[in-house]
Chains A and B, each alone.
Chain A
Amino acid sequence: MWDYTDKVKDHFLRPRNVGELEGANAVGETGSLNCGDALKLFLKVNENERIVDATFMTFGCASAVASSSALTEIIKGMTLTEAAKLTNEDISDYLGGLPKEKMHCSVMGQAALRKAIANYRGIQILEKPGQVVCECFDVTDLEITDAVKKNGLKTTEDVTNYLKAGGGCGKCLDRIEQLIESVNA
């Protein structure tokens, strides 16, 4: 069984801010049914670009639900500029940490938030920068090198834990290995 903190368990069993948000003016979606987890984030942003309310809908494991719940609690009251600086570690820290295999749940929270902010500002995130390496989970080389740099990842397993990349068919594992080496060289 996963070694979840009490806070993760609490946010899983008593998730805050669940459901669609009436009057939401920003929505961010990430993940898919195929991936095994997905998050839809709803924000109500006032004229001063402050998040006055946030709710979520999540399909996924306990830590995915808990990360989503934590995310909405953290960002309520923040300005969009403040929220844009939020990292996946902030979500994980709020929950007292996540098992390393579950870090991608916090990454999902950050990604949905980024998309919601872009949605509010009317910016369309057309394409992710870089070339797709992991086709199963649609992860690019730039995303991988970025995660490796920021989180000091050492192995392909680490990358899978953070980004899910390589966790599907496994065909891209050699390429991920090369990317890790290139960063750490």
Chain B
Amino acid sequence: MKIVYTDNNATTRVADEVIQEMLPYFGEFYGNPSSMHTFGDQTAKKIKEARQRVADLIHADPEEIVFTSCGTESDNSAVYSAINASPDKKHIITSNVEHPAINNLFKLLKRTRGYRVTFVPVDKKGLLNLDVLYKSLSDDTALVSLMWANNETGVLFPIAEIAQRVREKGILFHTDAVQAAGKVPIDVRTSGVDMLSLSGHKIHAPKGVGVLYIRKGVKFSPFFIGGHQEKGRRGGTENSVSIIGLGKAAELAKAHLPVMDTEVRTLRDYLQNRLLEKIPSCSVNGDLEKRLPNTLSIGFDAVEGESILLMLDREGICASSGSACTSGSLDPSHVLMAMEVPFKSAHGSIRFSLSHYNTREEMDHIIAALVPVIERLRAMSPFWKDGKVV
């Protein structure tokens, strides 16, 4: 069966160019980049190139790039470094729609280390309440960490504006840009963030490699204590193969940004508008404008997400749901709940996240498959009668 992959906010296909770039370093060139011989130095030179390519994607200096094992490690490193830098400050700020890598860490710091945490709310469109954010900034605040783009809805936060206000107060600002990278332009210079997290496998590099950008001059204490790798900022022998792959992926991502903004956006809008047209009682979650060009979160009233996904799976369609049942927890997603999406559509919310590999034919396949799936599930739902929710 042909696979229609529209779950790119979960992970992405490793680009062929990336695989080609990595292959020699799996086999022939296995040297340790720290070694004092030409053989190992070949890997070191390639890592240097990768560092430059990643820096170029976000307009950073290569020295500001630290390679990690994943987005979660980058997030954890940034947060712990920030609170270690100001041990007397006991207040940290984030939003209530963050990825678990931040959300659960902030909850842990609250529970076990006595931090006062402000979880800034979002409105019904998923947009951040800036008033609450700015009013909560205080002399006791050690860090503000906010995601650039939301993984479930694709909603964008105004990071440049926020970073400026936060830094004016002398508070460190970190952003989890895992979902934004490669989908919208990121410029660390003009946005003025202090730290920024990226993940390789969301931009067509392999899993197991991430990036933490640390602005020059920001005091940093490492999360992994070990050797001198990454200029002492992250111990442990470099995952050279994946880093080299990530370098290539970053280069491709930069080149593909205009495609994201045009072709991918057009495909997403096509899928969205056709579904809204053909299926009654469904609605898009999140602000329609301030949103990643590849993401569509759409809720179908009176049906449940896992059932939709498993029926789509039979048609080779890969998507994900904001629904409880898929994640093993019973509540609908904390993101949709924070946005006060009504239960009737929150449980039946599906996320399609596209990449430049997707085609118009694939969107047509999804539309053709989804219409009868929703009809079928509604026909057995006790909350659907005569074409509406009861």
Contact = CB atoms under 8 A, between A and B. Distances in A.
B381 A57 contact: yes
B328 A101 contact: yes
Nearest to A102: B325
Interface in A76-109: 101-102, 104
A137 B324 CA distance: 14
Interface stretch (A125-133, A143-151, A160-168): A160-168
Contact of B382 (A39, A101, A102): A39
A40 interface: yes
B176 interface: no
Chain B at the A interface: mostly helix, strand, loop or mixed?
Answer: loop
A37 B310 CA distance: 16
Interface residues of A, number: 32
Contacts of B38: none
B46 interface: no
Interface string A37-52: 1111000000000000
A12 B307 contact: yes
B382 A37 contact: no
Nearest to A37: B304
B382 A62 contact: no
Given A59-B304, A64-B304, A160-B330, A36 B325 contact: yes
Contact of A33 (B310, B324, B383): B383
Contacts of B343: 33-34, 36
Contacts of B303: 59
A12 B376 CA distance: 12
A19 B379 contact: yes
A57 B382 contact: yes
B233 interface: no
Contacts of A29: 382
A62 B302 CA distance: 15
Contacts of B379: 18-19
Contacts, number: 72
Chain A at the B interface: mostly helix, strand, loop or mixed?
Answer: mixed
A25 B204 CA distance: 58
A61 B306 contact: yes
Given A29-B382, A64-B304, A36 B332 contact: yes
A110 interface: no
Contacts of B310: 12, 62
A71 interface: no
B323 interface: yes
Contacts of A101: 328
Interface in B5-25: none
B347 interface: yes
A65 B325 contact: no
A37 B380 CA distance: 12
B307 A61 contact: yes
B378 to A, nearest CB: 9
A64 B347 CA distance: 14
Interface of B: 302-307, 310-311, 314, 323-325, 328-332, 343-344, 347, 379-383
Given A36-B304, A59-B304, A64-B304, 19 more contacts: A12-B310, A13-B311, A18-B379, A19-B379, A33-B302, A36-B330, A36-B331, A36-B347, A38-B383, A58-B382, A59-B347, A62-B306, A65-B307, A65-B380, A101-B328, A102-B325, A167-B330, A168-B330, A168-B331
